[in-house]
Amino acid sequence: MSDHEKMSAKTHKEEVQHNLLLSIRAARNRLFVCFWTFPVYVYAVTQLLNSGSSSTVIMYSYMLLYAFFGISASVKRCPECHEQFFVKRFFLNPFRSQCAHCGLSFKHL
Ligand SMILES: [Zn+2]
């Protein structure tokens, strides 16, 4: 393999890693949107309860949304060590911006 080929192979690997890190960050951002909208959700449910309407639908949709984003973030794999990026043992920690296992970070993206 020539030097040029070695270099383009490395660049390709970095590009793949970059894209994976972007998708990991996007999954985390979606989960954060859920956290941020929690007060809005509480307000909406309170309003519904006060007006005598059923809040069951909105409660279930919110829980499903949470579960969906939680799962989609927890299944993200680190491009470097292929472990679950946000999960160490059983706990999902979306606040980290580094891999729970090898410390690969997406802060620089
Ligand atoms: Zn890792």
- CA of 85 relative to ligand 1 center, distance in Å: 6
Q: Would residue 104 count as lying in a domain? A: no
Q: Assess contact for 99 and 81: CB atoms under 8 A.
A: yes
Where residue 5 falls among pLDDT bands split at 50, 70, 90? low
pLDDT digits (tens, 9 = 90+) for 72-87: 999 999 999 999 999 9
Where residue 99 falls among pLDDT bands split at 50, 70, 90? very high
Q: Would residue 101 count as lying in a domain? A: no
Q: Assess contact for 76 and 86: CB atoms under 8 A.
A: yes
Share of the chain above pLDDT 70, in %: 94
| Ion ligand 1 neighbours, Cβ < 5 Å | 78, 80-81, 99, 101-102, 104
Number of domains in the chain: 1
Q: Assess contact for 94 and 28: CB atoms under 8 A.
A: yes
Q: Would residue 98 count as lying in a domain? A: no
φ/ψ bin of 52: left (φ > 0), alpha (ψ from -120 to 50), beta (otherwise): left
5 or 85, greater pLDDT: 85
pLDDT digits (tens, 9 = 90+) for 35-53: 888 899 999 999 999 998 8
Q: Would residue 106 count as lying in a domain? A: no
Q: Would residue 69 count as lying in a domain? A: yes
Task: Give the residue among 88, 37, 63 at the shortest CA–CA distance from 96.
Answer: 88
The arithmetic mean of pLDDT across residues 91-104, rounded, is: 90
Using DSSP, state whether 5 is helix, strand or coil: helix
Lookup: tokens for 99: 């891999």
66, 70, 72, 73: CA torsion to nearest 10: 140
Q: Would residue 78 count as lying in a domain? A: yes
Q: Would residue 52 count as lying in a domain? A: yes
Q: Domain containing 39: what range? A: 3-92
Q: Would residue 105 count as lying in a domain? A: no
